[in-house]
Structure 1
Amino acid sequence: MVTRLILASAALTVSASALAAQSLSEGLYIQGFAGYSQLQSSDFSGTVNGSSQSVDTDFDAGFGLGVAIGTEIPQWSNERFGTRVELELSYRDSDVDSVNFSGNGPAGEANVSGDITQTSLFANVLVDFKQTGAFTPYVGLGVGATYSDLDFAYGPGVALDDSDTTFAAQIIAGVAYEIDPNLALTLDTRYARAFDVSSQRLAPNGTSTGTVEDDIDAFSVNVGLRYGF
């Protein structure tokens, strides 16, 4: 009787361990991240005051942060590769550094102020390259939508002050370091693009003088924590 109880207890322990391991590898996780973000130079082009013009814009380094919830897909994974899907909500903010309006010649504009903020919702697919150690490299691709809020001025008070929600995509490359079976530290780079972002160009009195648009590209380096349930 005692022997049977011992064997039954051992079997239950092994079964519980197996189920725990399965839940960690196939269950939900949540990840938070934050870091450095740099918008790439933009050439907002369009018709201003009846002619083709551009508002060339450079940006200061900014910041970004985000949160994602996801899971590994066992049917798309094996002992060498793990495939994850996740939903990501992120935000970035970058101040405008300089502006060159083509209608005023080659010199840069004075009195530049303001920023561009972006809020994005991405559906990501990521592939983990499973290793024997604690480090796991990964790459990913995401598609979704970005809400871009342009709010900057230059010269005597001319402004790009508008918002637009457009299709967006990103690529991701990073590495995770397993702190314990439930927690990992992540470091990644992301390159995101919001396509065809448009904005009105406003005169100092608030009158629209035309509409300009361009893609907005952002490069970021992020540190994060991923917790598995």
Structure 2
Amino acid sequence: MDWRNGFCGAAFGAGLLLLSGSALAADEDLLNAPEITIEKEAAGTSAIYLRGDIGYAPWRGEGDPYYRTFDAGTLTYDSVSFDNARFDKPFSGSLGIGYQLTDTFRADLTAEYFEGRFSGSSSSASPCAGQGAGTSCALSTGAGYSALGLMANAYLDFGTLAGFTPYVGGGIGATRLNWDSAIERATCVAGGGACVGGAPTSAAYEGRDSWRFTYALMAGVSYDLSEQLKLDVGYRYSHVADGEMFGFGAEALVGASGDKGFDDGLSRHEIRAGLRFSF
């Protein structure tokens, strides 16, 4: 019994030594462990960014702009559509600031500027001012405009593959459309009568300014040039609501009121390229 008790005692003592050695080693590992910091959000899932874009609109929809004529004798109005209307100057530029809310969702506020020129033609069976009976009148109207748009946009980013990240998005906002004075030129067209000689006559109509509701739809892809800089290339469709173009000129002196010219809104199909820089 004594040797068994001695053996058990020795084994028990050895076990205690092993356990104490393991505990000391564990304590030493804990003391030497690197400091662990837990971030509130995972890196890369939230960041403020700045963006700048240029756009080219190879196709623009001008709708059906029209103007009103006034008959001082009957005090009535008639609406006349432009036979041929178009908007030119397709370039635009924008700046903005945004926030990457998650890996897949971001939003930004942008300010956009573009300008252009409207030209349209129409005709009247009535003679131009100062022309004789039997003639008709060909009219051409031109006016420049500038636009400043303020938009709130949201985007859904898909998975990134080899640095490329496709996305879709949409935006709503308002555009301040500022029309310059419209110049209308009237040219006599001989028919059953004869035109009086002389250059075509012209009249000026004061341009109108107004805020228009605007919406946009986007799709594109970004490419990681670096950890902070992305190249963004995409397509955007935007539509500016309709409104006034220009008011009455001399006709206002004989009773005409309100506005003379109206646009039917402005749609732009744009190819856009820009950079996004994250802080």
Partners in 2 of 1:73 and 1:195 — Cα distance? 30
User: What's 1:128 paired with?
Assistant: 157
2:214 paired residue among 168, 171, 177: 168
Q: Are the counterparts in 2 of residues 123 and 142 from structure 1 also a CA contact under 8 Å?
A: yes
User: What's 2:25 paired with?
Assistant: none
Report the alpha carbon displacement of residue 206 of structure 1 after superposing the two structures with TM.
8.4
- Aligned counterparts, 1:53-132, within 5 A: 53-55=80-82, 57-74=85-102, 82-96=104-118, 98-101=119-122, 103=124, 109-110=139-140, 113-132=142-161
Deviation by residue 1:207-226 (Cα, 9 ceiling, x = unmatched): 77624242211222221100
Q: Secondary structure at the match of 2:65?
A: strand
User: What's 2:69 paired with?
Assistant: 48
Report the alpha carbon displacement of residue 4 of structure 1 after superposing the two structures with TM.
7.2
Report the alpha carbon displacement of residue 129 of structure 1 after superposing the two structures with TM.
1.3
Q: Are the counterparts in 1 of residues 217 and 236 from structure 2 also a CA contact under 8 Å?
A: yes
Report the alpha carbon displacement of residue 102 of structure 1 after superposing the two structures with TM.
5.3
Give the superposed CA RMSD: 3.2
Once the two structures are aligned, what percentage of the paired residues are identical?
24
1:188 paired residue among 224, 234, 253: 234
Report the alpha carbon displacement of residue 157 of structure 1 after superposing the two structures with TM.
3.3
User: What's 1:146 paired with?
Assistant: 175
Q: Which runs of 5+ in 1 are unaligned?
A: none
Q: Alpha carbons of 1:42 and 1:115: their partners in 2 closer, same or farther (altered >3 Å)?
A: farther
Aligned residues: 215
1:35 aligns with 2:55: yes
Report the alpha carbon displacement of residue 204 of structure 1 after superposing the two structures with TM.
7.0
Report the alpha carbon displacement of residue 35 of structure 1 after superposing the two structures with TM.
2.6
Tell which deviates more after alignment, 99-108 or 183-192: 99-108
Q: Are the counterparts in 1 of residues 47 and 101 from structure 2 also a CA contact under 8 Å?
A: no
Q: Are the counterparts in 2 of residues 201 and 212 from structure 1 also a CA contact under 8 Å?
A: no
Q: Are the counterparts in 2 of residues 48 and 201 from structure 1 also a CA contact under 8 Å?
A: no
Report the alpha carbon displacement of residue 73 of structure 1 after superposing the two structures with TM.
2.5
Partners in 2 of 1:107 and 1:188 — Cα distance? 45
Report the alpha carbon displacement of residue 170 of structure 1 after superposing the two structures with TM.
0.7
Report the alpha carbon displacement of residue 46 of structure 1 after superposing the two structures with TM.
5.2
Q: Are the counterparts in 2 of residues 53 and 103 from structure 1 also a CA contact under 8 Å?
A: no
The letter for the 2-side match of 1:88 is T
1:224 aligns with 2:274: yes
Whichever of the two has the greater Rg, that structure is 2
Q: Are the counterparts in 2 of residues 54 and 102 from structure 1 also a CA contact under 8 Å?
A: no
Q: Secondary structure at the match of 1:161?
A: coil
